[in-house]
Amino acid sequence: MKEREKILIRASWISIIGNAILSTLKMSIGLFAGSLAVLGDGIDSATDVVISIVTLFTARVVSRPPNPNYAYGYEKADSVATKVLSFVIFFAGIQMLISTGKSIIFSEVRELPSIIAIYVTILSMGGKLGLAYYQFHQGKKADSSMLIANAKNMRNDVIISTGVLLGLVFTFILKMPLLDSITGLLISLYIIRSSIEIFWESNVTLMDGVKDTSIYNKIFSAVEQVPGAVNPHRVRSRQIGNMYMIVLDIEADGDLTLNEAHEIANGVEYSIKNSIENVYDIVVHVEPQGKHHQEEKFGLSKDNL
């Protein structure tokens, strides 16, 4: 846990510093060069600074120990922060959509942007690519949806900057400043789309779901490897941070002693942990084999997988 906290904090600080430099550079050059697309790209990088500050704060929160109010600890703060990030990104996209839309609708007279806008965009693409790779690598290492979402956002920034670059090139070739505004409009729509994707992805963990549903096949296969354990059902799995919490029912011979049934349950637990990484806790409920059990509202069996 301490190592994970260190990774989150270090990645957040690197993201804050890197994006602050790129954002300041792009917004300054965007204003100086008269390019709405570059200015919008700089505003998007400014939101990345806000996002990184949120991840830094969240890194402190997730390391807090459990208490009576939060018996499972604060690991889900990672998912909550991801949800917040989606709103920040969405707001930035809407703001950019409004400003570029006004420029196009009201046909504001604009001069051709300065050539320096192209150079700063190329520099931005290199910087963002490096930051995105670093955030994604650290996110995988710490199994953090928050860092991975941040990395995806920065990957989108590279695509955005590519669009800005192409827009600027065609603006200079065709001598049409309007193309710069149109590029900014398309970028704003792409930012909004990305925010919606991140929003929906974060719903899975917050609603006690799992992103990788193949985990259930692994659970059923693990139970089948344990002698005496049959008919796994009412299987439930959810994620808290980067850890799985698994609950399931199994059936065993009703004539077994309590100790024997306990050994089978332990065998199921060990088999599942050997099949799935990052399992924090498993609860196995043993029922007499063949006894009727009511249809439950929650959980999965092999029949309804």
pLDDT in tens, 139-149: 888 777 777 77
DSSP 106: T
pLDDT in tens, 57-116: 877 787 788 888 888 888 788 788 888 878 877 887 787 788 777 767 765 545 556 777
For residue 193, the Cα-to-chain-centroid distance in whole angstroms is 14
pLDDT of residue 74: 82
pLDDT in tens, 249-272: 999 998 999 999 999 999 999 999
CA–CA separation, 81 and 164 (whole Å): 29
End-to-end CA distance of the chain: 33
The answer to whether the CB of 204 falls within 8 A of the CB of 173 is no
CATH T-level fold of 2-206: Alpha-lytic protease prodomain-like (1.20.1510)
Got the DSSP string for 28-70?
HHHHHHT-HHHHHHHHHHHHHHHHHHHHHHHHHHHTSPP-SS-
What residues have CB less than 8 Å from 101, skipping those under 6 apart? Answer: 185
pLDDT of residue 252: 92
CA–CA separation, 210 and 46 (whole Å): 32
pLDDT band at 248 (very low <50, low <70, confident <90, very high): very high
Domain ranges of the chain: 2-206, 215-304
pLDDT in tens, 174-233: 776 667 677 778 877 877 887 888 888 888 878 888 888 889 999 999 999 999 999 999
Q: Which residue has the higher pLDDT, 292 or 13?
A: 13
3-state secondary structure of 83: helix
CA–CA separation, 105 and 91 (whole Å): 21
Could you give phi then psi for residue 282, rounded to 5 degrees?
-135, 130
Q: Which long-range contacts (CB under 8 A, 24 or more apart) does 125-130 make?
A: 125/158, 125/161, 125/162, 125/165, 127/18, 127/21, 127/22, 128/22, 128/45, 128/154, 128/157, 128/158, 128/161, 129/158, 130/18
What residues have CB less than 8 Å from 16, skipping those under 6 apart? Answer: 49, 52, 53, 56
CATH T-level fold of 215-304: Alpha-Beta Plaits (3.30.70)
Kindly give the interhelix angle for 77-105 and 145-174, rounded to the nearest 10 degrees. Answer: 20
